[in-house]
Structure 1
Amino acid sequence: MKEKRTIVDAWWNIILLIWSVSILFPLIWVFYESLKTNQEFFQGVWELPKKMNWINYQDAWSEYGIGKSLINTIYYVGVSLVIGTFLTAINAYVLTRLEFRGRKLMWAVIMLSLFLPGINALVPQYILMRDMHLTNSLTGLIILDSFSESAFFLMMLGGFMQSLPKELEESGAIDGASIFQIFFRIIMPLSTAGMVTVAIFKLLGLYNNFLGPFIYLGDPAKYTIGVAMYQASQIMQYKSDWVTLFAGLMLTMIPLVIMYIFLQRRIMEGATLGAVKG
């Protein structure tokens, strides 16, 4: 039996269509502008290119260092994502599944950090990174982002772990499993959906992170994609090579598009299950 569609459903469809167009149109516009020459761009920003100038992508890759910055970003995001997600899982397990003195106080301090703007920690973090000789280093930036725990991610994954039956750990302990064996063999496999949800948020945050790399990285050869694009936009004040900048902008979206194509089902299942069980 088919469901009857009402006028409200039709209006929602129209709203969603308009929303989709508002998102896709700027991307399409940037794409065909990236295939123009600068002369065509300044003559008419709404006209289609007369010839596909793919050379703009080659120029963006080499001239503005997009290729090198993409490699730096993949290294920075990949390592930070693996280490950070693993540490978040361990912290969430300890704070939600284990009973020890001072646990409630630790949770209270963590919750208090939600009311403190992250910018307040910028100066002491920089001084600490400088004294440890970790500035101007992608590895130092990875260490900073991996060990800087977020209360939001702890709450999300901790809430997911709290929904798991306590009997699972009790049966594992009866069989002689240690805390680490219980975590790696029972809790982690059952918390995969929640960890995927956390990893999605971490991935987006790391890939779009600008302030950290901008402050701690001084060598252009170590720039991440966000800082490289910012530097390229500053050059436009004197060069006005906008079509190459648009080409570089399109290149920055390729890693996320590829990830979404291959992990689309996993991302949607992880986000949905994490939201329901958390």
Structure 2
Amino acid sequence: MAERRTLMDVVWRLLLFLWAVSILFPVVWILYQSLRTNAEFFQDIWALPGKFQWSNYTKAWSGYNIGQSLLNTLYYVGVSLVLGTFLTTINAYALTRMKFRGRKLIWGLIMLSLFLPGINALVPQYILMKSLHLTNSLTGLIILDSFGENVFFLMLLGGFMSSLPKDLEESAYIDGATIFQTFWRIMVPLSTPGIVTVAIFKFLGLYNNFLGPFVYLGDPEKYTIGVNMYQANMKMQYSADWVTLFAGVLIVMVPSIIFYIIFQRRIMSGATMGAMKG
């Protein structure tokens, strides 16, 4: 039996279609602008390219030092992702599966921090990083992002861990397992779906992070991809080589687009993971 569609179903589908078009149109526009010459761009921004200028991508790669910034981003994102996800997993386990005095107070403080804009911590964080001589350092930025716990990730993974049965932990304790052995050999394998979801969100956040690297990094050789493209955009007031900039923008978009295409189902389902306690 065919499913009957109501008028509201049609309206919602139309709205979602228009929303998708509004997202895809700028990407498509940048794509064909990156294959034109600057003369064609300034003559008519809506015209299709007369001849594809693939050399714009080579020029963007070498002129904007994209290769070095991608390596910096790979180091920054990779180490921060592994270390940060591990710390988030430990914190979620301690706050949801272990009973100790002051746990509710800690959760209350964590919930309270949701009402504080993150920008308020920028000045004291910078003063602390400056005092520890960790500014202008990718390693210092990794330390800041890894140890600076994100409340959303903690709640997401904590909610998932809370839904797991406690019988396996109790059996492990009876068999003589330590707290860390129980965490590593039992809770981590069982929590793999939640950990993977947190890791995906962390990757997207770290790859697109701009404010932290922009504030703490001063050496152009240490710029991440976001700061590097910002500096490339600033050069446009002197050179106006927009087609090369568009090519550079598309190059740096490729990793995140591929990542999203591969993990899109996990990203969509991860938003509600841990919301219900089973």
The correspondence of residues 1-40 of structure 1 with structure 2, limited to 5 A, is 1-40=1-40
Q: Do residues 174 (structure 1) and 174 (structure 2) align? A: yes
Moved more, 183-192 or 217-226: 183-192
Letter in 2 for 1:210: F
Report deviation, 1:84: 0.6
Report deviation, 1:64: 1.2
Counterpart CA distance in 2 for 1:131 and 1:7 is 62
In the other structure, the counterpart of 1:226 is 226
1:53-75 deviations in whole A, cap 9, x for unaligned? 11111111111122211221121
Counterpart CA distance in 2 for 1:82 and 1:275 is 24
Q: Kindly indicate whether the alpha-carbon contact (under 8 Å) linking 1:69 and 1:221 is maintained by their aligned counterparts in 2.
A: yes
In the other structure, the counterpart of 2:145 is 145
From the superposition, tell whether residues 274 and 18 of structure 1 become closer, same or farther in structure 2 (CA, over 3 Å): same
In the other structure, the counterpart of 1:96 is 96
Structure 2: tracts of 5 or more residues without a match = none
Letter in 1 for 2:97: R
Q: Kindly indicate whether the alpha-carbon contact (under 8 Å) linking 1:193 and 1:269 is maintained by their aligned counterparts in 2.
A: no
Counterpart CA distance in 1 for 2:265 and 2:201 is 16
Moved more, 37-46 or 256-265: 256-265
SS in structure 2 of the partner of residue 115 of structure 1: coil
Structure 1: tracts of 5 or more residues without a match = none
From the superposition, tell whether residues 249 and 178 of structure 1 become closer, same or farther in structure 2 (CA, over 3 Å): same
The correspondence of residues 44-63 of structure 1 with structure 2, limited to 5 A, is 44-63=44-63
The correspondence of residues 134-213 of structure 1 with structure 2, limited to 5 A, is 134-213=134-213
Q: Kindly indicate whether the alpha-carbon contact (under 8 Å) linking 1:80 and 1:145 is maintained by their aligned counterparts in 2.
A: yes
Identity of aligned residues (%): 71
Aligned residues: 278
In the other structure, the counterpart of 1:80 is 80
Counterpart CA distance in 1 for 2:272 and 2:124 is 38
1:30-54 deviations in whole A, cap 9, x for unaligned? 0000010000000000000011111
Output the TM-score relative to the length of structure 2: 0.94
Output the TM-score relative to the length of structure 1: 0.94
Moved more, 149-158 or 209-218: 149-158
Letter in 1 for 2:246: F
1:219-252 deviations in whole A, cap 9, x for unaligned? 0011011111111111101110000110011011
Give runs of ≥4 in structure 1 deviating > 4 Å: 264-278
Letter in 1 for 2:12: W
Superposed CA RMSD = 1.7
From the superposition, tell whether residues 115 and 263 of structure 1 become closer, same or farther in structure 2 (CA, over 3 Å): closer
